[in-house]
Amino acid sequence: MLDLAHPEEGFRVVFERSVAPEGDRDGFVPVGLDVISDPEKSGRTLLYAANAGVRRSGGGKVSVFEIGKDPLTGNAKLTLLWETPRSSLLPKINGLTVARDGTIYASNFGLSPFVRDAPQVGAAEGETKGRVNTVVCFRPKSAGGDGEWKIVARGLAGANGLALTPDERHLLVCSYHTKKVHAFNRDPATGELLGLGPEARSGLAFHPDNLKAAGNHEFTVAGQRNTFLVGLQLFFGLPVGAGGGERFRWEPGGESRQMTDYTPWLKTDRHAPSTVIEIEGKIHVGHIVSPGVRVFDLPPR
């Protein structure tokens, strides 16, 4: 964790567990994060982590932490509270977003670019096994669900980053290989996806990876410009994967509109940018495999 109020102090490790399984514990490989206020306990903040460390032993799951403070040092500390059941419906868990009532959505990323982008709601008839390029949902019993994972969307070309609109009536999903962001209609009362809405964003100059809600119907998204170079980055550690990104505005009934183009900065970052967050005139950029977060100053508006 990095305290943006005191960035000079650098990163602190707030939770650590082995990547490999140990005894009765699964491995811990966090590939996606989201933070919400605890719907059951006022004043408590929860962090949800998409855990890919169990994919080889029955599928992925989501680990839920309380963000608190160490009483001795005053430093931030994560306490593991509970975990969803691991599920075969999460063979390649990747993106993650959580509704205010605790309903969790996760994506299964498909690496192959040779797939058709034809998103639909629900699972295919008779489908019981986990597949890539799906979005799955876990609705806890406290939110009126059954506490089980289920497929709520399929057919995306590289299902990746996820975000909810402010009223939670739409779920946005990145289609990595086709450089689009799709919008699904959603019922906030049940968590069900009701159908595919209009595209929230298309024609991007990069492959959209992570997607973050920035408030006021605005979203930030970042990704990589060349998938071949991303492969070199992943398998050989070569810093060659330049990125792109933007802040855009989208709300139902209107066209999406780019608010800020981050690509002039992310093109200079060759560590395969995957996430961008804008805070007080700066963008904070995370990457697929490279450690650390790069910070760029934006020009005054």
Provide block-wise average pLDDT over 10 residues at a time, the chain (301 residues). 81 89 84 95 96 76 93 86 94 96 97 95 83 96 94 97 97 98 96 94 96 96 93 83 96 91 96 94 91 90 75
Global confidence as pTM: 0.95
pLDDT at 7: 79
Architecture field, domain 1-201: 6 Propeller (2.120)
Long-range contacts of 122-131 (CB under 8 A, 24+ apart): 122/151, 122/152, 122/153, 122/154, 122/193, 123/150, 123/151, 123/154, 124/154, 127/151, 127/154, 129/88, 129/89, 130/59, 130/87, 130/88, 130/89, 130/90, 130/91, 131/91
Query: 227 exposed, middle or buried (CB, 10 Å; 0-12, 13-18, 19+)?
Result: middle
* Beta carbons within 8 Å of 35's beta carbon, 6+ residues apart: 45, 46, 47, 48, 67
Delimiting residues of CATH 2.120.10.30 domain(s) in the chain = 1-201
- Residue (of 214, 223, 225) closest to 275 by Cα position: 223
